[in-house]
Structure 1
Amino acid sequence: MSSSIPLSIQSYSTVEELSVALADLFVTLSVDAIQTRGRFTVGLSGGSLPKILAADLVKRVDAVEWEKLTVFFCDERLVPLDHEDSNYRLCREELFSKVPIPEEQIHKINPDLLENAEEVAEDYKDQLIHVFAHVNSAKFPVFDLLLLGIGPDGHTCSLFPGHQTLEDTIDWVIPEENSPKPPPRRITFTLPTLNHAHNVCFVATGEGKQDILKRIIDENDQKIPSALVQPVHGNLFWFLDDKASAKLTLREKK
């Protein structure tokens, strides 16, 4: 990885210990962001991440000023909000239903636009503009924290190896209509949106992630989407369990 990026690679013996550390990071960054900017803007991903995040965070609800939290999704599947493939539904079940975050501060795709992926992406960009444009002098939204997962092929959000979505340097959020992983139709943050965040945290667990993590972290393989996530002015965290990090030479065991 680039030595110019503030980088932290931490490995934990168990997923439970990782969950505690991730909740610690979330709480600490929320306090700092609210003190500095008056709010805490977060981008969430799906997969196993919401459950890992919520496992310890829901035990300390009083540590977060939830009314000052604004949530977006780093990518979303173009399905109804109550569909089993919806990242919103997953995050609601694991986290939102257990904490006092105002529903209007959770930014969802418009289910009335599902037939047109371009319109869904444009509407989601409008929501981003509404939240970020009046306080943001950068060309892209600047999130306080983006929480990302990683697939066995190295994809993150809905940015897949070899897809043209990786080449977009202008847009904030774009459609992906040919995902190799079902469902095929999605929207996703672009690499520039990811790379303008104050803090980006990847979370990966399990033996199935060993080889791809070695290619990303030890070998800096630029063909892999997750390796292209390198915040311009922010911090990059990798929170791993020992099963996932077993082949890495660069890691701090906890």
Structure 2
Amino acid sequence: MTVDDEPEVIVEGDHDRLARSIADQLVSTLAALQAQGRVPSVVLTGGTIADTVHRAVAERADDGRVDWSRVDFYWGDERFVAPDSDDRNERQVRRALLDHIDVDEARVHPIAADDGTLTLEDATARYADVVRDQVFDIVMLGVGPDGHVASLFPGKATLAVDDRDTVAEPASPKPPPARVSLTYRALNRGREVWFLVSGAGKSDAVARALARDDVTTTPATGVHGTEQTVWMLDQGAASALPADLR
């Protein structure tokens, strides 16, 4: 897929139906990739809908379709806080999913936490080494009401970074302020990009992104898969779209 191709839009009735649909699609896609002899790579995201998706995937983990020890897990962004902070996306994902499946910890690639020895810049540089030249099979992203993705926020200089794969965001408009994020350069190496969006409060941002608003005001516009881009929405998130898209 190129930036000029139209993304696919999938609309489910409500938050829980959306989460179940995404979980089924994730398991099916990973199983298909493994059937080809591949070790799939997935970029995970945080947020409410993602947490529900992760729990739904965990419920399907015992069906034997996916060898979870042969999946590489990455994160699109992370809050630079203490390792045991509930604000960490990694901690959320571990509680909902990773603690319930048979992962190979060598294939789990979290972004470094603020353990008192690292700076935000250190954590950013370390993750750049981890993801360098990595092509991701699936990039899952939430979208904020302001149109941000990962920790790429409207109006920020980080949106223009195109010479490296990770960037430090010291002053996020959402707390906690210190973040590490993948850049467009890294996110756009995803073969499939899935936007997971629930709730009417995000409907305007979804509509702007699908109308290809400028990335400086709606950063989600700037991410697309090399093979496929899918917007997975519930009715609330789709409510501002033209009728033919919902």
**Equivalent in the alignment of 2:56:** 56
Identity %: 30
SS at match of 1:63: coil
CA distance in 2, matches of 1:95, 1:114: 28
CA distance in 1, matches of 2:187, 2:117: 24
C-alpha deviations, 1:10-30, integer Å up to 9, x for none?
A: 111122221221112211221
**Equivalent in the alignment of 1:225:** 219
CA distance in 2, matches of 1:68, 1:171: 27
For structure 2, list consecutive stretches of 5 or more residues without a partner in the other structure. Answer: none
Deviation at 1:124, TM superposition (A): 1.1
CA distance in 2, matches of 1:125, 1:154: 24
Deviation at 1:3, TM superposition (A): 7.4
**Equivalent in the alignment of 2:16:** 16
**Equivalent in the alignment of 1:81:** 83
TM-score when normalising by structure 2: 0.90
SS at match of 1:39: coil
TM-score when normalising by structure 1: 0.88
Structure 2 residue corresponding to 1:192, chosen from 177, 181, 185: 185
**Equivalent in the alignment of 1:132:** none
**Equivalent in the alignment of 1:238:** 231
When residues 113 and 36 of structure 1 are mapped into structure 2, their CA distance, relative to the original with a 3 A threshold, is farther
Task: Tell me the amino acid that sits aligned with residue 41 of structure 2.
Answer: T
1:174-193 correspondence runs (5 A): 174-193=167-186
When residues 250 and 96 of structure 1 are mapped into structure 2, their CA distance, relative to the original with a 3 A threshold, is farther
C-alpha deviations, 1:186-229, integer Å up to 9, x for none?
A: 10000111111101100111110111111111x31113100111
When residues 114 and 247 of structure 1 are mapped into structure 2, their CA distance, relative to the original with a 3 A threshold, is farther
SS at match of 1:239: strand
For structure 1, list consecutive stretches of 5 or more residues without a partner in the other structure. Answer: 130-139
When residues 97 and 192 of structure 1 are mapped into structure 2, their CA distance, relative to the original with a 3 A threshold, is same
Task: Tell me the amino acid that sits aligned with residue 123 of structure 1.
Answer: R
**Equivalent in the alignment of 1:124:** 127
Deviation at 1:115, TM superposition (A): 4.2
SS at match of 2:237: coil
How many residues align? The count is 240
C-alpha deviations, 1:123-172, integer Å up to 9, x for none?
A: 1122224xxxxxxxxxx421000110011100010000011111011111
- Contact kept, 8 Å, 1:79 with 1:114, in 2: the verdict is no
C-alpha deviations, 1:83-142, integer Å up to 9, x for none?
A: 01111101111111121112332112334476411111111122224xxxxxxxxxx421
Computed over aligned residues only, the root mean square deviation of the Cα atoms, in angstroms, reads 1.9
Structure 2 residue corresponding to 1:161, chosen from 154, 157, 177: 154
1:39-118 correspondence runs (5 A): 39-61=39-61, 62-111=64-113, 112=115, 115-118=118-121
